[in-house]
Amino acid sequence: MIRKVLVANRGEIALRVIRAVREMGLQSVAVHSTADADALHVKFADQAVCIGPPPSRQSYLNVPSIIAAAEVTGADAIHPGYGFLSENAEFAEVCLKCNLTWIGPPPSAMRLMGDKIRAREAMNAAGVPTLPGSVGLATEADVLSNADRIGLPVIFKATAGGGGRGMKIVHERERLLDAWNTGRNEAQAAFGNPEMYMERYCQKPRHIEIQVAADTHGHYMHLGERECSIQRRHQKVIEEAPSAALAPETRKLLTAAAVRAISAIGYTNVGTLEFLLDSDGSFYFMEMNTRLQVEHPVTELVTGLDLVREQLRIAAGEPLSFSSERVPNGHAIELRVNAEDPETFAPWPGRITALHMPGGLGVRVDTHVYAGYVVPPNYDSLLAKVIVHDVDRPSALRRARRCLDEIVIEGPRTNIPFLRRIVSHPEFVRGEFDTGFVARLLAEGKPAR
C-alpha cells in the first residue's frame, strides 16, 4: 500500500505525477529548489519541502535532502519522474533501504541497462537483434581488429553513456584511433568512465521505441511504438504514435522482441526499448530507458491508459490494469515547446508576460508555466508539451498546425517557428523521414518567421 508519494522532480512532469497521485486518492509531496518556490508543482501538491539552492546538484540531485524530505513528511514512496535521479540505481537502492517504495524498476535492471555493453549482451541472450559490435575496447589493436571485423563505418559509444552523448562516427580506418582517444577523454569527463565500444554505423535509420510495462505478477506487456526520429542533437522535438513507417509484420516482430527482452531480465514497472529501424525493415536494439519518458503521453492518447497510474499500481504490488494487447486508437503527435532562440536554439529563460495555450477536442497540454511565471535559467528549456490526437495521421497533423496557430507565448522566444516548419514540411507530411531529417532541414536555411 502506498499512501503518500514524494515526487523527486520539477516542471511539467512533477505536475503530471501529482495529478495521477491525487486521482488515485493518495497524498503528494513536492520538493523544490529556491528557484522553484513559485512553481505549480509546489502549489498543486499536498505538501512541499524546499531541498536546496537552484543548481540541480544541490537540490533535485541532492539525495540526502530528498530522503530527509520524505522522512519529515511521512512519505512512503518516491516517484523520480524523468531526468535527474530517475535512472540512478544507487538512489533507488537508498530509497529501498530507507523503507520507501521505489516507483520504478528493480535497481539491478537499472544498473544492467546503464551499462550499454552488458545491456547488448543481455539482449543478444534474449534473442533481441543488436548491430554487429564489440565489447569494451582496451587497446589500439582491439580498435583496429574490431573495426576490420565489423566493417566501416562504425560508431563509438561510451559504455556508461546513453542518449547519444559521447558518440563518434568513423568512416575511414585512419580516423579510428583518433576518434577512440577523443571519445575516451570525453567519456571520462562526462560519465567518469572512459570505456568505449563500437557498433556498425547504421546510416539514415528511424528511431522507433517500444513502450513496455510489467507488474510483479509476471505480466509482461508492450503498449506499441513511438516514432522519435525528429530530433535535434539527440533532443527529441516531435514524437508520434503509431509510426507511419512500421509495416504490421515488423511491428509484430519489434513488440515481441521488446516483451521477450523484459521477461528475460525480470523487468518490472514501465520502460522503453529504443530500436533503430533500417530502410530494409530490419531493426536493432540500441538502449533501454528504465523510466517514464517525456513523450509517454502519445502512448496514453492512443491506448487510453494512464502510465503513471500503472507505475503506482505496479510499485504497490498490484497487477497491471489491463491484460490484453492494446490496438492503438487513432494517431497522436507531441510537439515540444521550448524557451529557446528559434534560430540558434540557445536557451531563453525569463518572465512569461502573456500566455494562451491551445485547447479543444483532441488536445492535451502538459505544462507547468503560467502568465507571470519566470522560466529559471538552471533547468531544461521545456515549456509545454502539446499533444494532439485524432483518427489518423493527416487529421492529427492538421490539429497540430491549428494548435501552433493558437498558441501565444510572450516574453521568452520559443521554437514554435521551427515546429511550424516541420509539421508543414512535405517530407514530414508524407512520413518520409529518418533521424537525419532535422539536421538536413537546418543545413538548408533559416526557419521562416
Q: Which residues bind ligand MV4 (CB under 6 A)?
A: 131, 155, 163-164, 199-202, 205, 207, 231, 234, 274, 276, 286-287, 435
| Smallest distance, ligand MV4 to C-beta of residue 339, A | 23
Question: Which residue's CB is nearer to ligand MV4, number 153 or number 376?
Answer: 153
Radius of gyration of the chain (CA): 22
Which of 206, 291, 393, 413 is catalytic? The answer is: 291
Grid cell digits, residue 401: 498546425
Question: Which residue's CB is nearer to ligand MV4, number 207 or number 368?
Answer: 207
| Smallest distance, ligand MV4 to C-beta of residue 226, A | 13
Question: Which residue's CB is nearer to ligand MV4, number 5 or number 131?
Answer: 131
| Smallest distance, ligand MV4 to C-beta of residue 196, A | 13
Region of 224 on the Ramachandran plot (φ > 0 left; ψ -120 to 50 alpha; else beta):
left
Active site residue 398: no
Question: Which residue's CB is nearer to ligand MV4, number 28 or number 293?
Answer: 293
| Smallest distance, ligand MV4 to C-beta of residue 43, A | 35
With b for 16 or more beta-carbon neighbours within 10 A and e for fewer, the 119-140 pattern comes to: bbebbeebebebbebbeebeee
| Smallest distance, ligand MV4 to C-beta of residue 234, A | 5
Q: Quick one: CA dihedral 21, 2, 268, 115, positive or negative?
A: positive
Question: Which residue's CB is nearer to ligand MV4, number 237 or number 386?
Answer: 237
Question: Half-sphere exposure (CA, 13 Å, Cβ side) for 61?
Answer: 11
Name the one residue in this structure whose C-alpha cell is 494487447: 325
Residues noted as catalytic: 291
